[in-house]
Chain A
Amino acid sequence: MTEALLTLEAIATDIGAYHILHGVDLVVPRGEVTMLLGRNGAGKTTSLRSIMGLWPPHHGTIRFDGQAIERLATPEIARLGIAYVPENMGIFTQLTVQENLKLAAHSARFDEARLDDVFRFFPILKTKWTDRAGLMSGGQKQMLAVARAIVEERRLLIVDEPTKGLAPAVIDQLIECFLELKARATTILLVEQNFHMACSVGDSVAVMDNGRIIHSGSMATLAADADLQTHLLGLSLASHQ
């Protein structure tokens, strides 16, 4: 069995008066793409933000490469080599594309090979290099958000719904990018509503509902089992209508 890079044990997180996560247990194996699926409001984004320390859990343990990180501040967590692409992309709209990427390169200098990769994945970013990021389309902003996460070598990529509201051509471009990262044994934790994308890139899958993981296993198994999909995703949706 592949060694775990990230583990969540009994994570419980509150946002104000609301109890969002009720004991999340999740394992992200090293060098694999783990999909986190579930209906809206299941707790996927909260789980990612808890890992990043943006909404720290009040209970449970988060281990990254054996180190407990649930009490660390967000910058310390990021400096362990974890890149985070939030659901809203977190693009600095007043900065240029170049400045957005420069900020993500901790050495303040670009690794030329990584930058070439970024331009190969998303050629539009080279064209828009000196343009203000706020002037780009939604799909281009998402490409920039992903590019910012991969412009330097990271040990774990956490990406929250990268295909949300994007055109099919852009989604295909993102799938290509994630497939190549997967081929290089990059560890990725990906929240996604697009089942086609999840099937395309995921190695393993965890399904959330009501702030808990209700299923975990191989993505291939879930992709092949329509009944299981209906049971995990369809029933869950129906129960909240």
Chain B
Amino acid sequence: MKPKTDWLPRLLLPALMLAALPFMPGPIWLTLTVAGAAMGMMLFLMASGLTLIFGLMDVITFAHGAFISLGAYTATTVVAALPNLQQNGTWPAALALVALALMAAIILCGAVGFVFERIIIRRVYGSHLRQILITVGGLIVLQELLVAVWGANPIPVAKPLALQGSVAFLGASIEIYRLAAVGLGLAVFALLQLVLTRTRLGLMVRAGVENLEMVEALGFRVRRLFVAVFVTGCSLAGVGGVMWGLYQGLVTASLGPEMMILVFIILIMGGMGSIGGAFVASVLVGLVTNYTGYLAPRLSLGSTILLMTLILLWRPRGLFPLAKS
């Protein structure tokens, strides 16, 4: 018997897009849909690391927001250090600058994440209350360290010239940077899926999410896997921070923590620990925020909470709940 595919949550995204179409002109719908997808992809970059950390390690870390901020600050430094690339209006220069900022954020956030896991997280495995308390403390310390290094004033950061502006498509105006964010988000999602489904490491992670004890009984050193996953999660937060920082154009130490409410909403809606769930929930949040911003601006702020409530009433364990033993 082949496993039945759960189609309903998968159909949510196209259903939402089609449902919004009759309520607005086509070009506006297209603009909002791309904007929502881009926002969703950036949220996915921030949330994917956290859902991986929670799913495998059963660790709730509020310090994740600081790693998003660290990624954004790293982008400001890289862009400031390479003004020629930023001002160069060609695609290769723009892609090289973004790639350098992403690489720097991946390395820096990964390294800080490694130290954070060794010093703080490893002491609180298995205790959610202690995890929350200590990671909130860790968040404050990391935020203050960011202020100590980059200063308390907001730092402006400009997108590479080639990624500024917009293109016209079917009468709609679409920001180039948003298209780039969609491309990167899809690439990261595909890469994560590839690693999780096609590699032995991914096999270990998927098995560990379900039954950590049995993975250990098969001879795998789970603690090492924890470190690798935590470092990867922090690096992914950094990637999200780079993209969000460049998108916002102004970076502060609170940039990341401010996103954490949305990130947690995405984790809960998607099903804690599910990468696929985080992906669908991120895009849902992006689309709903943009559609309601246009159709009913007064509802815009509460739209994500309303969306989460509806989804949890329908599926109390999220869209793609994981089995845990």
Contact = CB atoms under 8 A, between A and B. Distances in A.
Interface of A: 52, 54, 73-75, 78-79, 84, 86, 88, 90, 92-95, 99, 102-104, 106, 108, 131-132, 134-135, 148
Contacts of A131: 1-3
Contacts of B206: 92, 94-95, 99
Given A92-B211, A108-B200, A79 B3 contact: no
Instruction: Identify the interface centre among A75, A102, A131: most chain B CB within 10 Å of its CB.
Output: A75
Contacts, number: 67
**9 nearest A-B residue pairs (beta carbon):** A78-B219, A90-B214, A74-B216, A132-B3, A79-B219, A92-B207, A75-B221, A84-B217, A93-B323
Contact of B207 (A54, A103, A108, A132): A103
Given A52-B217, A92-B214, A93-B210, 14 more contacts: A54-B216, A73-B216, A74-B217, A75-B219, A75-B222, A90-B214, A90-B325, A92-B206, A92-B210, A92-B211, A93-B323, A103-B203, A103-B204, A131-B2
B11 to A, nearest CB: 21
Contacts of A103: 203-204, 207, 215, 218
Instruction: Identify the interface centre among B1, B216, B217: most chain A CB within 10 Å of its CB.
Output: B217
Contacts of A108: 200
A74 B203 CA distance: 19
A79 B219 CA distance: 5
Contacts of B3: 131-132, 134-135
B211 A90 contact: yes
A86 B217 contact: yes
A102 B206 CA distance: 13
Interface string B172-206: 00000000000000000000000000001001101
Given A75-B222, A94-B210, A102 B203 contact: yes
A75 B323 contact: no
B224 to A, nearest CB: 9
Contacts of A99: 203, 206-207
B220 interface: yes
Nearest to B3: A132
A103 to B, nearest CB: 6
B180 to A, nearest CB: 33
Interface in B118-145: none
A78 B207 contact: no
26 contacts: A73-B221, A74-B216, A74-B217, A75-B221, A75-B222, A78-B217, A78-B218, A86-B214, A90-B213, A90-B214, A92-B207, A92-B211, A93-B210, A94-B210, A94-B322, A94-B323, A95-B206, A99-B207, A102-B203, A103-B203, A103-B204, A103-B218, A131-B1, A134-B3, A135-B1, A135-B3
A221 B323 CA distance: 45
Contacts of B322: 94
Contacts of B222: 75
B271 to A, nearest CB: 12
B214 A106 contact: no
Given A92-B207, A92-B211, A75 B220 contact: yes
Given A75-B222, A90-B213, A103-B218, A134 B203 contact: no
A131 B221 CA distance: 27
B318 to A, nearest CB: 15
Nearest to B2: A131
A95 B219 contact: no
Contact of B216 (A78, A95, A102, A148): A78
B219 A106 contact: yes
Given A92-B206, A92-B210, A99-B203, A75 B216 contact: yes
Contacts of B219: 75, 78-79, 106
A241 to B, nearest CB: 32
A24 B76 CA distance: 63
Contacts of A132: 3
Instruction: Identify the interface centre among B210, B213, B218, B325: most chain A CB within 10 Å of its CB.
Output: B218
A131 B207 CA distance: 15
Nearest to B204: A103
A134 B325 CA distance: 12
A81 B292 CA distance: 59
A54 B213 CA distance: 8
B104 to A, nearest CB: 33
A104 B323 contact: no
A6 B322 CA distance: 38
Contacts of B210: 92-95
Contacts of B207: 92, 95, 99, 103
Contacts of A135: 1, 3
A103 B219 CA distance: 10
A75 B223 CA distance: 10
Contact of A104 (B2, B218, B221): B218
A4 B215 CA distance: 28
Contacts of B1: 131, 135
B204 to A, nearest CB: 7
Contacts of A148: 218
Nearest to B216: A74
A128 to B, nearest CB: 8
A141 B72 CA distance: 48
